[in-house]
Structure 1
């Protein structure tokens, strides 16, 4: 396990599927260490350099390959044996790489980055097999594989006169990002629509003042002071945390019931006749007999000084209409 963790690159697999990339890695590292001459035939490298190169190569071999070439001590000989054994990988990879290059199309990929990765992978495989892909080849491959719906766009990119594939791919990547941003903005709010205005809670001052005319004790009394049954506020102006969902059915019906009681009370108080003391009509349209009117007026000026009025209670409205007989007794006894 210690050998695996100290590997500078992936070791050569016994199947040889990574032989071409492994050869490049070994050659670069040997050049960096000044040991590149040790893998050449008939070299004049010192014994110490050949030993260092041999240790390095064996360190990056599969354990099975180490056992197979256990008796080989010269790095040039080991290098030659591995080449004879796995160099046919070029003839295996080359037809596949040519096929992939022939069928590579920009329109087959969802993003430009995916196409760019496939382009470099195929180009590297062809280069390992001895076939070099130039910038002109990659530019023409990209231009000729645009989607048919982007024909005008393809002509515009051609007219820009790109000389390097990297310039074209940079332009395509920027355009792709801008297109994604435009699509996101369009989907967030469709064409022709306007953003929704902010919704703020506005309290109606009329609800906190009451509706009784000439009855100040009702406007400032009890639970209706500063209370808006539709806003979920309590009598002190704050919100009741236990009844946040104030649109529930029970609370709505209770508020409606309170409103009906207040409206009925207002109607009753507004229809009191100050001439005879009865309800249901105004003083200017009163048709009560003068005899009863005189008795009612006399009762108002009597010693008992008892008012006939409507009484407001906390829980309900009670209409306490009294007749003249309730104060003075039967009328016939007065005569």
Structure 2
């Protein structure tokens, strides 16, 4: 009976902080269950039955935060819920740097950081458009921390 309450992976947080990982986990699990088509663009010659849609809805709802569950309570179609969640969190992207790359970047001069930014400009173009002030503060902290200290 305790297995019924056990989650396959962590729930989608209200902030969407774990959105990228959550999306991949849901896609993999729905594929393994043979019901991934319930969240994808429908194909005319392959209808999806109500049992598959219900299974997908139950699975997705079990893996979202209670606040999101309440907000999208009226949704009855898994694709509609999937698109609503994607619309809510799709603007977020994570950039993963290998540890050695990160340490080299932190020890770099301001000119080297400027060169790095110009090379990877597409990754940073949306920073100005983010409404979250902490993101800008974190970037400024990074730039200050990586600048050489005057002795």
**1:3–1:65 distance in 2 versus 1, CA, 3 Å:** farther
Answering whether residue 85 of structure 2 is matched by residue 82 of structure 1, we say yes
**1:70–1:89 distance in 2 versus 1, CA, 3 Å:** same
Q: Distance in 2 between the 1:27 and 1:33 partners?
A: 10
SS in 1 for 2:86: helix
Cα deviations by residue, 1:81-106 (Å, 9 ceiling, x for unpaired): 1111011111xx23xx359774345x
Query: How many residues align structurally?
Result: 102
Answering whether residue 59 of structure 2 is matched by residue 56 of structure 1, we say yes
SS in 1 for 2:37: helix
The RMSD of aligned alpha carbons is 2.8
Aligned residue runs from structure 1 range 298-309, under 5 A = none
Name the counterpart of 1:72.
75
Answering whether residue 25 of structure 2 is matched by residue 25 of structure 1, we say yes
Answering whether residue 48 of structure 2 is matched by residue 45 of structure 1, we say yes
Answering whether residue 16 of structure 2 is matched by residue 13 of structure 1, we say no
Name the counterpart of 1:236.
none
8 Å contact 1:3–1:59 — kept in the other structure?
no
Aligned residue runs from structure 1 range 157-236, under 5 A = none
Name the counterpart of 1:103.
102
Q: Distance in 2 between the 1:102 and 1:70 partners?
A: 44
**1:73–1:7 distance in 2 versus 1, CA, 3 Å:** same
* TM norm structure 1: 0.28
* TM norm structure 2: 0.59
Aligned residue runs from structure 1 range 135-150, under 5 A = none
**1:4–1:83 distance in 2 versus 1, CA, 3 Å:** farther
Higher RCO (CA 8 Å, separation ≥ 6 residues): 2
The structure that has the greater radius of gyration is 1
8 Å contact 1:50–1:74 — kept in the other structure?
yes
Aligned residue runs from structure 1 range 120-139, under 5 A = none
Q: Distance in 2 between the 1:79 and 1:99 partners?
A: 31
**1:101–1:75 distance in 2 versus 1, CA, 3 Å:** farther
**1:5–1:37 distance in 2 versus 1, CA, 3 Å:** same
- Gaps spanning 5+ residues in structure 1: where? 109-125, 127-335
Report the alpha carbon displacement of residue 4 of structure 1 after superposing the two structures with TM: 8.9
